[in-house]
Amino acid sequence: MTFFDFCAHTFTKARKPLNPHVARLYQLAQQPSRRVVGLMSGTSLDGLDVALCCVHGHGTSTKLELEQFTTVPYSDTVRHRIRQVFAQPQVSLEYLTLLHPWIGQLHADMVLDCLRAWQVPPEAVDLLASHGQTVFHAPHHQHQQPDFAGRSATLQLGDGDQLAVRTGIITVSDFRQKHVAAGGEGAPLATYGDYLLLSSSTEARVLLNLGGIANFTFLPRLGDASLLPFSTDAGPGNTLLDATVRQRLPELAYDEGGKLAAAGKVHAGLLAHLLNASFFTAPVPKTTGPELFSAAYVRQAQERTQTQHLPLEDLLATLTEVSAAGVALALEQTCGKQPALAIYASGGGVHNAALLAALQRRLPACTFATTSSLGVPPDAKEAILFALLANETVAGTPLAVPLAGIPAVLCGKISLPA
Ligand SMILES: Nc1ncnc2c1ncn2[C@@H]1O[C@H](COP(=O)(O)OP(=O)(O)OP(=O)(O)O)[C@@H](O)[C@H]1O
Ligand SMILES: CC(=O)N[C@H]1[C@@H]2OC[C@@H](O2)[C@@H](O)[C@@H]1O[C@H](C)C(=O)O
């Protein structure tokens, strides 16, 4: 008897009615498709990405239709509250405790506003897939806590129970903890969704995400058993650029189109110093965050190279080069020198022409496109990823295909609305 036969048998025999949400979960698992809202708020703190998806099937037969997508921008107040704890080694425990349900409520209200605007009643949504807000990422090779040497941890705020209770929609959240429990660093999780949705039988692909942090998934051509799907962080994407722009020009959130960087000259001494971080030569897979790649990291490098008075344009040109070099180095670590790969980019960095040009210069044998040429809008990719992961949690089984160095587990915790 399979698990589902057993449940069906038990449901029909049970005298006491089951929690209707458990019955609904059982029914959802068996439906041919599920309507899932994927939510992502990344390290850039620009807002909450909301993707309404219809996910057909599961596992390698998954097909996904993106019905709606939007980014709900964070207000200054929201950003200010998150920054009280974001990537800080010491915070008020009271503040952190209060922030967890508050972000959950905030995200729930943002979802309800989007559904209202799209004229989709919450009852017509099967699942919410909520990443939450990463506030600290502590992979074993990066944190400085000897009591926990060799251990990795990561913390996302925005309690799933708040989302489930406020929206009435079954919510899958806190995806990264299972990855840590199974021996990973809690990231990148993109491998799973990229593999299920974007593998090709005609080419090996690299899915490059240029968010606050840059990360990529390498997908061997389907049928090529000599290589395994693989993901790693590569280093900073936009995080150093954003921090620098915010510091010098507080009225701007980022360097629009990378125009300031494009007008600057790379400072070779500062670049070499910035690329000295042991992260860049550490073996893959590896992860990182703004805990390492911060304004303080740039300031220290400037002090040591006496480049504090570099014009903003030159500093941004140099930091752009750091991001591009990080990606090129990690790709070389994964695929060998001068890789010739089909790269499909996503994340906010695709709007930064200076960053794309630097990548092309450092990876001359690669071809570049965005994921829109694969049918996935670059700004929506991460929110879609979490919709896929929640679909797997409810209807899938752990991937049978081995992923290089990455635990093949189903991720996420399920919150019932009542
Ligand atoms: N028009 C633009 N010109 C230049 N840069 C842009 C533009 N639009 C977005 N960006 C950059 O993209 C960033 C947001 O990217 P994205 O939303 O992918 O990051 P994230 O998801 O928060 O990060 P992560 O993937 O690390 O969690 C912005 O902070 C900015 O640096
Ligand atoms: C801890 C954390 O939130 N990491 C994010 C971040 O943003 C990009 C990069 O760093 C990646 O490792 C990860 O997100 C994506 C969605 C991932 O897990 O694949």
Distance, in Å, from the CA atom of 266 to the CA atom of 387, rounded to the nearest integer, reads 40
What separation in Å is there between the alpha carbon of 146 and the centre of ligand 2? 25
Q: How far is CA 23 from CA 8, 86, 345, 384, in A?
A: 10, 38, 40, 26
46 known member of a binding site? yes
For residue 5, the model assigns a pLDDT of 56
Among protein residues, the one with the nearest Cα to ligand 2's atom 17 is 188
Among protein residues, the one with the nearest Cα to ligand 2's atom 15 is 188
Among protein residues, the one with the nearest Cα to ligand 1's atom 9 is 348
Distance, in Å, from the CA atom of 29 to the CA atom of 37, rounded to the nearest integer, reads 16
What separation in Å is there between the alpha carbon of 94 and the centre of ligand 1? 30
For residue 274, how far is the Cα from the chain centroid?
24
First to last CA, the chain: 30
Is the preceding peptide bond at 89 cis, omega within 30 degrees of 0? Answer: no
101 touches 10 (CB < 8 A): no
Among protein residues, the one with the nearest Cα to ligand 2's atom 13 is 188
Q: How many CA atoms lie within 13 A of 352 on its CB side?
A: 32
Categorise residue 229: left if φ over 0, alpha if ψ from -120 to 50, beta otherwise: beta
Q: How far is CA 378 from CA 21, 247, 396, in A?
A: 34, 27, 25
213: Cβ below 6 Å to ligand 1? Answer: yes
* Nearest ligand by distance to the CA of 234: 2
What separation in Å is there between the alpha carbon of 74 and the centre of ligand 2? 19
pTM of structure: 0.94
135: Cβ below 6 Å to ligand 2? Answer: no
Which residues, in sequence order, are bridge partners of residue 134? 156
What separation in Å is there between the alpha carbon of 82 and the centre of ligand 2? 17
For residue 96, the model assigns a pLDDT of 98
415 touches 158 (CB < 8 A): no
3-class SS at 8?
A: helix
Q: What is the DSSP string of 69-110?
A: EEEEEPPHHHHHHHHTTTT-SS--HHHHHHHHHHHHHHHHHH
168 touches 159 (CB < 8 A): no
Distance, in Å, from the CA atom of 195 to the CA atom of 192, rounded to the nearest integer, reads 5
48 known member of a binding site? yes
User: In the chain, how many H helices and how many E strands?
Assistant: 14, 12
* Nearest ligand by distance to the CA of 189: 2
- The ipTM assigned to this model is 0.98
195 touches 205 (CB < 8 A): no
* Nearest ligand by distance to the CA of 406: 2
Alpha helices in 182-311 (DSSP H): 190-198, 239-248, 259-262, 268-274, 295-305
For residue 25, how far is the Cα from the chain centroid?
26
Amino acid type, 273: H
Query: Which of 176, 218, 287 to mutate for ligand 2's pocket (most ligand atoms within 8 Å of CB)?
Result: 287
pLDDT in tens, the chain (418 residues): 554 555 556 655 555 678 899 999 999 999 999 999 999 999 999 999 999 999 999 998 999 999 999 999 999 999 999 999 999 999 999 999 999 999 999 999 999 999 999 999 999 999 999 999 999 999 999 999 999 999 999 999 999 999 999 999 999 999 999 999 999 999 999 988 999 999 999 999 999 999 999 999 999 999 888 888 889 999 999 999 999 999 999 999 999 999 999 999 999 999 999 999 999 999 999 999 999 999 999 999 999 999 999 999 999 999 999 999 999 999 999 888 988 999 999 999 999 999 999 999 999 999 999 999 999 999 999 999 999 999 999 998 877 666 666 677 789 999 999 9
184: Cβ below 6 Å to ligand 2? Answer: no
Which is it for strands 171-173 and 413-415: parallel, antiparallel or unpaired? antiparallel
Among protein residues, the one with the nearest Cα to ligand 1's atom 20 is 42
Domains contained in the chain, CATH given: 33-190+380-415 (3.30.420.40), 192-374 (3.30.420.40)
What separation in Å is there between the alpha carbon of 73 and the centre of ligand 2? 19
For residue 339, the model assigns a pLDDT of 86
